[in-house]
Amino acid sequence: MVQRGSDEAIVLIEIKGFDAKSQVEYLSHTVGQYMLYRSSLRYLEITLPLYLAVPIQAYNGILSEALGMHVIAEYQISLVVFDPQQEEIIAWYP
């Protein structure tokens, strides 16, 4: 559950690590799994927002390059960027 001021919102978050052999493989697997979850939620008629949580190194890597930015925009993926060492959220991107 995410608190914003006195309002509360419920969101679903898919957390992805960064353990693929290549950045493109990471992007492919991550986006594919996210889209499967999104489709499953629609099928079940669950309307909660779905976020993809990625470590800062993935966000600063493939996700900040032209291909990654295009894919995020194309599929309208909402992101949560986190720092796994500090165990903190760095940014939310709707």
Q: What confidence score (pLDDT) does residue 79 get?
A: 93
Q: Is residue 1 over pLDDT 50?
A: no
The 10s digit of each residue's pLDDT in 38-75 is 999 999 999 988 999 888 988 998 899 999 999 999 99
Backbone angles phi, psi at 5, to 5 degrees: 65, -130
Residue ranges of domains in the chain, CATH in brackets: 2-93 (3.40.1350.10)
Mean pLDDT of the chain: 84
- Overall residue count recorded for the chain in this entry: 94
Q: Tell me the Ramachandran region of residue 5: left when phi exceeds 0, alpha when psi lies from -120 to 50, beta otherwise.
A: left
Q: Whole-prediction pTM value? A: 0.76
Confidence of residue 4 (pLDDT cuts 50, 70, 90): very low
